[in-house]
Amino acid sequence: MKKLILFTALAAATTVFADLKIGTVDMMSLVRNHSSYEPNKKLLTETEKDYTKKLDAMKAELDEIQEEGKNMTDQLRNPLLSQGSKTKLEKDLMDIQNKFITAQQRIRAEMLRSQQDLQELEGRLLKATTEDLREKINAFAAANKYDLIVDITAAPFASEKLDVTPAILKSMGVDPENTVEKLAERKAAEKTAAEKKEEK
């Protein structure tokens, strides 16, 4: 009886899945070939450069403070220095040391804030891209009567016949033969061929 129930359940499940139209998609490929990918990459690079420039200026200021402290330490070693001048220099040196510690803390805080800002910006840009891609995938699925389209990375195995990435790329205005990946492959192959030619 148990075997009959199990067989009936399996047969029903097979019938249900047989009627499903399923596709797979390479989300990373869609992201890399999305029209926003290069502008987003450029924005992130420029933002990172701005942060680096700011941090470099802060580090240069720290170096100046350190140099000032070194000069004061050298002056304190002067045996001809009067007690009054020595006392004043010691006080100034303490101020410089406090200034140095404060500047170091500011740099650490700025570095953490910059990293956090960059991660948040990257997250927002990626979210906007994936939301747009989700809309495009939904529109493609509706137009082609798909019941399910999953990211290829979520499936341990999927037949190449299920891959709808080229069709979705076309709907995005991207020639599947001229994707970022295909162009990189061709460039690498040309480089290897050129290197082999030089060896001969």
Q: Cα–Cα distance between 78 and 85 in angstroms, integer?
A: 11
Per-residue pLDDT of the chain (200 residues; tens, 9 = 90+): 544 454 444 334 444 556 799 999 999 999 999 999 999 999 999 999 999 999 999 999 999 999 999 998 988 888 888 888 889 988 999 999 999 999 999 999 999 999 999 999 999 999 999 999 999 999 999 999 999 999 999 888 889 999 999 999 999 999 988 888 888 888 888 888 888 877 76
The structural domain count of the chain equals 1
User: Would 41 be classed as within a structural domain?
Assistant: yes
Residue 50: what pLDDT? Answer: 96
User: Would 182 be classed as within a structural domain?
Assistant: yes
Residue 17: what pLDDT? Answer: 57
User: Would 11 be classed as within a structural domain?
Assistant: no
Q: Which two tokens stand for residue 192?
A: 């290897």
User: Would 8 be classed as within a structural domain?
Assistant: no
Q: At what angle do helices 83-143 and 37-76 cross, to 10 degrees?
A: 170
User: Would 2 be classed as within a structural domain?
Assistant: no
Residue 99: what pLDDT? Answer: 95
Residue 23: what pLDDT? Answer: 95
User: Would 131 be classed as within a structural domain?
Assistant: yes
User: Would 69 be classed as within a structural domain?
Assistant: yes
CA 174 to chain centre: 23
> The domain containing residue 61 runs over which residues?
20-199
Asked whether the beta carbons of 138 and 144 are under 8 A apart, the reply is: no
Residue 55: what pLDDT? Answer: 96
User: Would 10 be classed as within a structural domain?
Assistant: no
Residue 200: what pLDDT? Answer: 66
Q: Cα–Cα distance between 75 and 90 in angstroms, integer?
A: 10
Residue 18: what pLDDT? Answer: 64
Asked whether the beta carbons of 25 and 152 are under 8 A apart, the reply is: yes
